[in-house]
């Protein structure tokens, strides 16, 4: 016999050989280092210009330009849009705070005049953007893209981040963590970093972009100015010249002079070069030579005042606007009660200096509050608290999954019950839990919070995967052993030939029906062969077909090695499928909105189809009652909860868009599967399948006929039909009055009588008790292929432990 060797050792040796013989990392080429030195020198020159300039030195309206990338006249940027955008930003400040806001733009705020805004702006806001009437259309020839076309050998220039539509979604994630931000002594200004995710409704497939902006935040009045920085546009060096007033210019210039100086020094001291510390790429990488140029962004954000939702007669805590205490309590909670307050809200206005479009947040006064209310979100502390609640709820669902799974594994503890369960039903559940485990492991990289809680829940999900794999192994062992036994029986039947006379062939009994995976017994209407000699089963409940003969050494080795190899292949296929599914899902997270929605809807549809394989197995094997109903209903409910959360809750922690129509389709599909399982258990596994669509299978609930030709009457009748005897019982009289007969048999399991309807001789099937009394009346009894009759609960309980007739020990087909 050929012995299969484990290929993992060979693969490990190949990888080790490649690592040993791989070349050492080469030093940077001379041209690369010299180009990097040129970039450093260019940054020092831009910083020197920033130190020497004053407010008003950059004024495109008066033809005043600076020798900085993007701020020169020959660069061709649409800086004529800067002044209208700044006026609109000033109007937002004055509209929110009135004269107090106008004063905050001109001079430092005193303690008595401080405005009700958060000093630390870390958090997120999201909403809709609309195209402003200030925008103007620019052609590629107006953008002076010669530098880009020289770097691009193909000569094709297509700008990314180009918002050509009239509106779309936008989300901003601001980072200003305590201890990591750089600010001045009085904390009148601080550095801020924001990641923006912006989309365009009118683009093909719902295109969207994600990039990073750097800027400054003024905690006194909640204003922010953010900009991108690239080789074409030195936005961080031009940031003070984009401010609204002279006071803001001076404050931002003093801060950036120090922070930029420190950044360049760290850039020089690093072993590996950082080409652009202020890069707009999310991963921090600089733009490559062959990448398309992108539109630059300048955003003006204004925080809305915080409003407390007080009860009648209630006063706010502390001072009138004691937001310092509130922010400290949010970050370092002590359990003190806090008033209900309005969520974090901002207004936005921005423009692209090279692409020429102007955008602003959708909200009053240009739009009604019912349409949109600008950008709304939550602070980081509130978001973290909501994320912890979501993680706790998901942990509860995993615990409930484990409880239902353990109860089902206890219920299916015998080969007979495991043979009914569909392997692919449990496999789909296992893939779902494995996908949840991998997602929870990598989720701290995206959420940046609750790492310990996520890892704890990931361990719980991994424990669920281990139990499901163990359950799969038990099911596979039973079903593969059953399949091998059937293959041996088919091979033995095919190898035995019976000599017959050519002129007078002997009558043959109908043979068993053979399918691809199993051999099904004869229907109840066929003439059964002579019952075999009873065999006494040993207490270990071994299969008589296995104990009848003594296997050879080669047969034992083959039977032992093959299941082990199959189980090893099972684990390998599961792991590879899970990893492939996870990486494919990661790729689709960066695709356009339409393709991403189609993929995730399809993925959820197939995930919620875990009852479909069980329905198919019930049909093919004509079995039912494979799973507990608490397992079916419980697993359906707890596995649907996370999907409902992601599809129906607007402010979920993964920022997924709500889709109630897709949610209704998914819930309806799951409900249809549950109804199919319920109907199979009550009305039979094939009640909705036409004859011929499924292979023939034995029916344990046949319509009993009294005629001898049909040979459907069970063995062991204790009484004659009620309509032929002189029995005057009420039941017999009722049967006679309806023209239907009944017979009484003995159940050898419970030793009680079974009263079943029987079609009398010459009676029509249309008026038979089995049909007239309904399908439920026939479910009260079960007739085996060896023509023994039992109560349905009695025989089903017996067949949970062995598929043999209690009377003659003949092998029974599964339920």
The answer to whether position 72 is within a domain reads yes
Examine residue 404 and state whether it is found in any structural domain, yes or no.
yes
User: What pLDDT score does 518 carry?
Assistant: 44
pLDDT at residue 89 greater than cutoff 80: yes
What per-residue confidence (pLDDT) applies to 702? 79
Confidence of residue 713 (pLDDT cuts 50, 70, 90): low
* CB under 8 A, 24+ apart: contacts of 562-570: 562/484, 563/477, 563/480, 563/481, 565/4, 566/476, 566/480, 567/473, 567/476, 567/477, 570/472, 570/473, 570/476
Q: Which of 90-99, 296-305, 743-752 has the lowest mean pLDDT?
A: 743-752
Q: Are residues 406 and 369 in the same domain?
A: no
Q: Does residue 786 share a domain with residue 664? A: no
Looking at the structure of the chain, the number of domains it has is 3
Whether 193 shows a pLDDT value over 60: the answer reads yes
Higher pLDDT, 126 or 25: 126
Q: What is the number of residues in the chain?
A: 815
Q: Do both 457 and 582 map to the same domain?
A: yes
| Whether residues 355 and 406 fall in one domain | no
CA–CA–CA angle 160, 214, 306 (5° rounding): 110
At residue 155 the predicted structure's pLDDT band, cuts being 50, 70 and 90, is very low
> What number is the average pLDDT over the span 416-431?
90
DSSP helix, strand, coil percent of the chain (3-state; round to 5): 45, 15, 45
pLDDT tens for 367-398 read 888 778 899 999 988 998 888 899 999 999 99
Before 365, cis peptide (omega within 30)? yes
pLDDT above 50: residue 542 = no
- 530 belongs to a structural domain: no
Q: What is the pLDDT of residues 588-609, one digit of tens each?
A: 988 899 999 999 999 999 999 9
The answer to the question of residue 268 being in a domain is yes
The answer to whether residues 161 and 302 belong to one domain is yes
Residue 515 lies in a domain: no
Residues 364 and 440 in one domain: no
Confidence of residue 130 (pLDDT cuts 50, 70, 90): very high
Tell me, yes or no, whether 729 and 642 share the same domain: no
Q: What CATH number did the domain enclosing 762 receive? A: 3.30.40.10
Q: Is residue 394 part of a domain?
A: no
> What integer best gives the mean pLDDT of the chain?
78
Considering 214-228, 481-495, 501-515, the range whose residues carry the highest mean pLDDT is: 214-228
- Paired tokens of 599: 């993929």
Who has greater pLDDT, 100 or 16? Answer: 100
Provide mean pLDDT across the span 195-217: 91
More confident residue, 676 or 697: 676
210/717: higher pLDDT = 210
**679 and 738 in one domain?**
no
- How confident is the model at residue 324, as a pLDDT? 83
Q: Across residues 787-799, what is the average pLDDT?
A: 83
Same domain, 419 and 364: no
Residue 747: what pLDDT?
84
pLDDT at 400 over 70: yes
| Non-local CB neighbours of 663 within 8 Å, separated by 6+ positions | 643, 644, 647, 648
Q: In angstroms, how far is CA 706 from the centroid of its own chain?
A: 58
Mean pLDDT for 122-127 is 93
Q: Range with the lowest mean pLDDT among 124-128, 498-502, 698-702? A: 498-502
Whether 639 and 724 map to the same domain: the answer is: no
pLDDT over 70 percentage in the chain: 74
Q: Is residue 131 part of a domain?
A: yes
Residues 123 and 232 both lie in one domain: yes
d(CA 160, CA 357): 13
CB atoms within 10 A of CB 650: 9
Separation in Å, CA 259 to CA 53, 188, 298, 653, 678: 17, 15, 20, 33, 68
Residue 388 near residue 394 (C-beta atoms within 8 A): no
**Residue 753: strand, helix, or coil:** strand
Among 145-154, 224-233, 624-633, the least confident range: 145-154
Residue 677 has pLDDT above 90, yes or no: yes
Instruction: Read off the pLDDT of each residue in 491-515 and give the average, rounded to a whole number.
Output: 52
d(CA 333, CA 330): 6
Q: Same domain for 51 and 149?
A: yes
Greater confidence (683 vs 694) lies with: 683
- Is the pLDDT confidence value at 485 over 70? yes
For residues 181-198, average pLDDT: 83
pLDDT at 288: 52
Domain boundary among 655, 683, 711: 683
**Closest to 477 measured CA to CA, from 354, 570, 563, 355:** 563
Q: Which domain holds residue 717?
A: 700-815
Residue 207 lies in a domain: yes
Higher pLDDT among residues 143 and 128, named by residue? 128
């Amino acid at each position: 016999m050929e012995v299969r060797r484990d290929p993992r050792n060979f693969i490990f040796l190949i990888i080790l050989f490649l690592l040993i013989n791989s070349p050492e990392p080469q030093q940077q080429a001379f041209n690369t280092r010299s180009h990097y030195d040129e970039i450093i020198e260019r940054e020092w020159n831009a910083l020197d210009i920033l130190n020497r300039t004053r407010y008003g030195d950059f004024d495109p309206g008066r033809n005043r330009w600076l020798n900085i990338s993007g701020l020169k006249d020959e660069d061709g940027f649409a800086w004529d849009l800067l002044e209208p955008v700044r006026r609109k930003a000033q109007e937002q400040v004055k509209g929110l705070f009135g004269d107090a806001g106008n004063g905050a733009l001109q001079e430092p705020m005193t303690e008595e005049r401080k405005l009700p805004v958060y000093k630390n702006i870390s958090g997120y806001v999201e909403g809709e953007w609309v195209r402003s009437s200030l925008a103007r259309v620019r052609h590629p020839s107006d953008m002076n893209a010669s530098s880009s076309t020289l770097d691009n050998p193909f000569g094709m220039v297509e700008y990314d981040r180009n918002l050509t539509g009239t509106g779309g979604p936008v989300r901003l994630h601001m980072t200003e963590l305590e201890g990591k931000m750089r600010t001045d002594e009085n904390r009148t200004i601080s550095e801020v970093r924001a990641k923006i995710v912006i989309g365009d409704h009118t683009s093909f497939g719902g295109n969207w972009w994600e990039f990073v902006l750097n800027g400054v935040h003024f905690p006194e009045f909640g204003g922010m100015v953010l900009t991108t920085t690239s080789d074409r546009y030195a936005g961080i060096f031009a940031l003070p010249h984009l401010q609204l007033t002279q006071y803001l210019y001076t404050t931002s210039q003093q801060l950036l002079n120090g922070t930029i100086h420190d950044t360049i020094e760290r850039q020089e001291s690093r072993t590996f070069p950082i080409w652009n510390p202020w890069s707009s790429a999310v991963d921090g990488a600089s733009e490559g030579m062959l990448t398309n140029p992108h539109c630059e962004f300048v955003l003006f954000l204004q925080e809305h005042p915080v409003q407390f939702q007080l009860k009648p007669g209630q006063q706010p805590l502390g001072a009138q606007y004691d937001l310092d205490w509130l922010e400290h309590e949010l970050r370092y909670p002590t359990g003190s009660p806090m008033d209900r307050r309005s969520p974090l809200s901002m207004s936005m206005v921005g423009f692209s200096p090279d692409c020429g479009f102007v955008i602003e947040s959708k909200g009053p006064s240009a739009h009604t509050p019912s349409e949109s209310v600008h950008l709304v979100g939550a602070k980081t502390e509130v978001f973290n608290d909501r994320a912890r609640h979501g993680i706790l709820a998901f942990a509860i669902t995993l615990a409930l999954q484990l409880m239902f799974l353990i109860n089902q594994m206890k219920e299916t503890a015998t080969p007979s019950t495991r043979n009914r369960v569909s392997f692919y039903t449990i496999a789909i559940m296992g893939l779902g839990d494995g996908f949840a485990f991998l997602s929870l492991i990598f989720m701290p990289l995206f959420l940046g919070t609750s790492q310990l809680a996520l890892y704890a829940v990931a361990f719980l999900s991994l424990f669920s995967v281990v139990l499901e794999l163990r359950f799969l192994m038990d099911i596979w062992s039973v079903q593969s052993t059953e399949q091998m036994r059937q293959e041996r029986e088919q091979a033995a039947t095919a190898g035995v030939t019976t000599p017959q006379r050519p002129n007078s062939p002997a009558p043959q009994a109908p043979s068993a029906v053979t399918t691809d995976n199993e051999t099904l017994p004869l229907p109840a209407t066929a003439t059964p062969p002579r019952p075999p000699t009873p065999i006494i089963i040993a207490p270990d409940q071994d299969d008589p077909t296995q104990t009848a003969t003594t296997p050879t050494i080669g047969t034992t080795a083959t039977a032992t090695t093959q299941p082990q190899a199959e189980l090893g292949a099972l684990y390998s296929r599961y792991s590879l499928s899970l990893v492939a599914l996870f990486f494919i899902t990661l790729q689709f997270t960066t695709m356009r909105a339409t393709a991403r929605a189609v993929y995730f809807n399809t993925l959820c549809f197939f995930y919620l189809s875990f009852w479909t394989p069980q329905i198919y197995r019930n049909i093919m094997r004509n079995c039912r009652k494979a799973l507990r109903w608490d397992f079916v209903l419980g697993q359906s409910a707890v596995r649907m909860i996370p999907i409902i959360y992601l599809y129906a809750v607007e402010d979920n922690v993964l920022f997924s868009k709500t889709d109630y129509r897709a949610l209704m389709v998914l819930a309806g599909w799951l409900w249809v599967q549950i109804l199919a399982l319920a109907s199979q258990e009550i009305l039979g596994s094939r009640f909705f399948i036409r004859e011929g669509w499924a292979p023939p299978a034995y029916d344990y609930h046949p319509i009993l006929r009294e005629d001898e030709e049909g040979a459907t009457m069970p063995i062991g009748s204790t009484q004659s039909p009620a309509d032929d005897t002189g029995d005057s019982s009420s039941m017999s009289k009722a049967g006679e009055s309806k023209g239907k007969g009944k017979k009484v048999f003995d159940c050898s399991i419970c030793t009680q009588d079974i009263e079943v309807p029987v079609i009398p001789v010459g009676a029509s099937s249309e008026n038979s008790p089995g049909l007239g009394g309904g399908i439920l009346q026939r479910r009260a009894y079960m007739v085996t292929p060896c023509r023994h009759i039992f109560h349905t609960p009695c025989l089903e309980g017996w067949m949970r432990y062995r598929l043999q007739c209690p009377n003659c020990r003949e092998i029974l087909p599964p339920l």
